[in-house]
């Protein structure tokens, strides 16, 4: 505890679990919280066929393409290692050009591609309980549950998110039957590079991201 705050990995500056050359902090989850039962559970889960294939494939993609492959290339490498032949793209209509280029690249590498855009179904926002005022930004609601259903019905092997809104992406992940990875994370202000807010949080964006009396 630190002034009533429960400390966890996000409060750690040592990251000994990665480097293994320093002492663990007293609050370290590995040292204080994780039990042998926890480790036995995750080892059992990683032993399951799909989980084992995914964790190994991801590690090999990282190892063999470290600081060499772009995210798009990593997705294709991972898909091939997973045996995925049909890729689903769940895209925001605002990034349809990017999604079309992504599909073009995937197809050039032999993948079958099937996509569903966020406004599919053309359901007015108020019909799903969204306040009518929100229709000022567009009449039809984003429809991540239907996007997932369409890709499920198309029997995609791996789904790729391209710029779905915060929360809409959450519902898509929830309802997708295939594993999901993300190619583009939406940030309308920062050109879909949300990490830029983190890099500028103590500088240009301090007033935007912190209250003036926040000294943390």
CB atoms within 10 A of CB 176: 22
Q: Quick one: pLDDT at residue 3? A: 60
Instruction: Show the tokens assigned to 180.
Output: 């999901």
Q: Quick one: pLDDT at residue 34? A: 93
Q: Quick one: pLDDT at residue 19? A: 79
Q: Quick one: pLDDT at residue 5? A: 84
Q: Which CATH architecture has domain 70-185?
A: 3-Layer(aba) Sandwich (3.40)
- Please tell me the number of Cα atoms within 13 Å of 86 on its side-chain side: 10
Q: Quick one: pLDDT at residue 120? A: 98
Q: Quick one: pLDDT at residue 2? A: 56
- Helices (H) and strands (E) counted in the chain, each on its own, are 10, 4
- Residues near 83 by Cβ (< 8 Å), separated by ≥ 6? 53, 157
pLDDT in tens, 76-122: 999 999 999 999 999 999 999 999 999 999 999 999 999 999 999 99
pTM of the model: 0.92
Q: Quick one: pLDDT at residue 213? A: 52
DSSP conformation class of 165 = P
Instruction: Show the tokens assigned to 143.
Output: 């429809």
Q: How far apart are CA 154 and CA 200, in angstroms?
A: 42
Q: Quick one: pLDDT at residue 23? A: 81
- pLDDT tens across the length of the chain (216 residues): 556 789 999 998 888 888 777 788 889 998 889 999 999 999 999 999 999 999 999 999 999 999 999 999 999 999 999 999 999 999 999 999 999 999 999 999 999 999 999 999 999 999 999 999 999 999 999 999 999 999 999 999 999 999 999 999 999 999 999 999 999 999 999 999 999 999 999 999 999 999 655 554
Q: How far apart are CA 78 and CA 147, in angstroms?
A: 22
Nearest to 145 by CA among 178, 181, 172: 172
Q: Quick one: pLDDT at residue 202? A: 94
DSSP conformation class of 112 = E
The beta-strand segments (E) located in the chain are 86-91, 112-117, 158-162, 179-184
Q: Quick one: pLDDT at residue 212? A: 58
Q: How far apart are CA 18 and CA 35, in angstroms?
A: 18
């Amino acid at each position: 505890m630190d002034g009533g705050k429960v400390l966890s990995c996000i409060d750690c500056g040592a990251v000994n679990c990665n480097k293994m050359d320093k002492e663990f902090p007293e609050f370290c989850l590995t040292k204080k919280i994780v039990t042998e039962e926890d480790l036995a559970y995750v080892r059992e889960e990683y032993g399951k066929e799909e989980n084992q294939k995914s964790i190994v494939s991801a590690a090999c993609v990282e190892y063999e393409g470290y600081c060499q492959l772009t995210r798009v290339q990593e997705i294709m490498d991972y898909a091939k290692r997973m045996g995925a032949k049909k890729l689903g793209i769940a895209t925001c209509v605002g990034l349809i050009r990017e999604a079309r280029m992504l599909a073009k690249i995937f197809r050039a590498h032999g993948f079958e591609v099937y996509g569903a855009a966020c406004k599919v179904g053309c359901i007015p926002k108020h019909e799903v309980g969204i306040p009518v005022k929100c229709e000022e930004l567009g009449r039809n609601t984003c429809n991540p549950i239907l996007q997932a259903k369409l890709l499920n019905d198309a029997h995609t092997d791996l789904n790729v998110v391209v710029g779905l809104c915060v929360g809409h992406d959450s519902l898509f992940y929830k309802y997708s039957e295939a594993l999901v990875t993300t190619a583009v994370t939406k940030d309308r202000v920062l050109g879909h590079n949300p990490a830029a807010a983190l890099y500028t949080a103590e500088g240009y964006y301090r007033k935007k991201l912190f209250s003036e009396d926040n000294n943390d």
